[in-house]
Every structure is written in C-alpha cells, then in structure tokens.
Amino acid sequence: MLNLIRMDLHRLPRNMAFKVIAILLVFETTLTAFTFSYMANHTSDLLEMTEYGFLNGKMTLGLFVQMTLGKLGDFALYLAIFVVLFSNGDFSTGFIKTIAGQVRSRGMLAASKFICVTIYTICYIAFFTVISIIDCNIFFDGVRVPDMGELVKYMLLMLYMYIAMMFLITAIALIFRSNLIGIIGGILISTGLLSAILGLVNILLDRLNIDIDLKKYTITGSITSVALTGDLSDYTRQIIVCAVYMVAAVTATVISYNKRDIA
C-alpha cells in the first residue's frame, strides 16, 4: 500500500495539469484581490467596504477566503479538474494494468488515489492561502486577522469539506473511468450548478407541501452555508453530511474496483 501511495505521489507533480492548475490559481487569486481592491478604492460606502473585508486599508483574510473558497466557482473547479485528470491518468498510460496484478486487492488502487487526492487538496488550500496573503499585501495595506482562532477553525472546516467534495468527484471519475463524465460531474458539483438544480427541486417540493431543503444534505450546500464564525456545534450538520459522502464515495469505488476488471 505504501508503495502504491509513493508511486501516485511521484506522479502528482509530473502531471502537466499540476503546473497549469498552479498557474491558473495564482492568476485567479491575484485577479480577485485586484478586483476587491479596485471596488474598495472606488466606493465611499463604509458598509459596502466592510462587506468586502476592506477596513482601515487592510483586507480581512477570513472574508477574502469566504468570498473565494466559500463561494465555490473557479477555485473549486480548478481543483476538481486536476483530481479527475490525475485519478484517471493510469488508464490512459496502461500503468494500471501492470500494477493491478501485483496487489492483493484492487481496492487498494482506489484507496491510494483517495489518499493522494487528500494530500493534494491540503497542498492546494495551503498554496491558495499563501498566495492570498501575498496578494492582499500587494493590493492592500496588509492583512487583518481579527480572530486567529476563528479563522483557523473555519479554514480547517473548509479544508475538510473540500476533501469530501474531491472524494465525491474522484469516485465519479474512477467508477465511470471517464474523464468526460468526471469533469462534467466536477463542474456540476464544484461550481454550485448542482445546488442550483436542487434549488429548483426545493421549489417543486415546497409547492407539494413537502418541507425539506435538499441543499442542506449536499457538500456544496454545506460549503456555501458554513459561517465564518461559530461554535463547533453549529458545524455538526456539515461535518456529518461530508463524512457520509466520504464514506459512501470510498466504499462505492473500492467495491467497483474489486468487482470489475481493470482495463
């Protein structure tokens, strides 16, 4: 198992998408920081400036993260696309056929992918945070962190939910063994389009007098609804929902690998 993980980790930086995604992330983060700076410098409305995290010439790091990672969009999409391309990379090279006969259980191949996706997601969020701090210092007078404890708690929860989202996208890509289906699923999930569709379903259910909000039971709904400040008890639903998706994603993928031939 350790050898599988080591080989997958060795493949990570060698993937062309690894470098492209890193460049896109830097560009997107810099553009976002510049946009916030422009908007803050061209408004005299103190309330609006505060909503964008701009106060006394400094950008509030927590609000910057919430308005980027917390709103999904391109930041989650870049991560999703790389995860799909990396997960199915073995099938295009034929490497999977060679290594599959050397493991006791083919489910270990899937488990290795999930572990590497977890490591990559952690690195991605960490890299985003570093770039965000640098950009905010460039375009603003510095960075504000009113409550470091709250920020760390929020960032850890956001990281946890992003890992859960990537697990789901990885499962889709590995089970269907298709980059096309994986990327389509990644777009629907990571950009919030799926939540928008569920919003329409909620309207239909409401007209049928069924009181349920389906978005509360999705990963994307959990990400966009999590508050920047709050007690751990406030995050209970999001933590449980994401845990269920993670367990289901890993279980379904391992079963699929064990029951189907590697081709």
Q: What per-residue confidence (pLDDT) applies to 164?
A: 96
State the amino acid at position 174 in one-letter form. L
- The answer to whether residue 122 scores a pLDDT higher than 90 is yes
226-256 confidence digits (pLDDT tens): 888 776 766 888 899 999 999 999 999 999 8
Q: Please give the average per-residue pLDDT across 65-79, as a whole number.
A: 90
Q: What per-residue confidence (pLDDT) applies to 44?
A: 61
Bridge partners of residue 144, in order along the sequence: 60
Bridge partners of residue 60, in order along the sequence: 144
Q: Which two structure tokens, joined as six digits, stand for 213?
A: 């909000």
H or E element in which residue 226 lies = none
pTM for this prediction: 0.90
Domain locations in the chain? 2-259
Q: Please give the average per-residue pLDDT across 46-67, as a whole number.
A: 74
Residue 97 near residue 248, CB atoms below 8 Å: no
Question: ∠ CA 33-154-50 to the nearest 5 degrees?
Answer: 45
Q: What per-residue confidence (pLDDT) applies to 50?
A: 62
- The number of residues making up the chain comes to 263
Q: Can you tell me the distance from the alpha carbon of 43 to that of 76, in angstroms, rounded to the nearest whole number?
A: 29
184-216 confidence digits (pLDDT tens): 999 999 988 887 888 788 888 878 878 787 888
Query: Looking at 99-108, 139-148, 208-217, which range is the least confident one?
Result: 99-108
Bridge partners of residue 171, in order along the sequence: none
- The answer to whether residue 23 scores a pLDDT higher than 70 is yes
- The answer to whether residue 92 scores a pLDDT higher than 80 is no
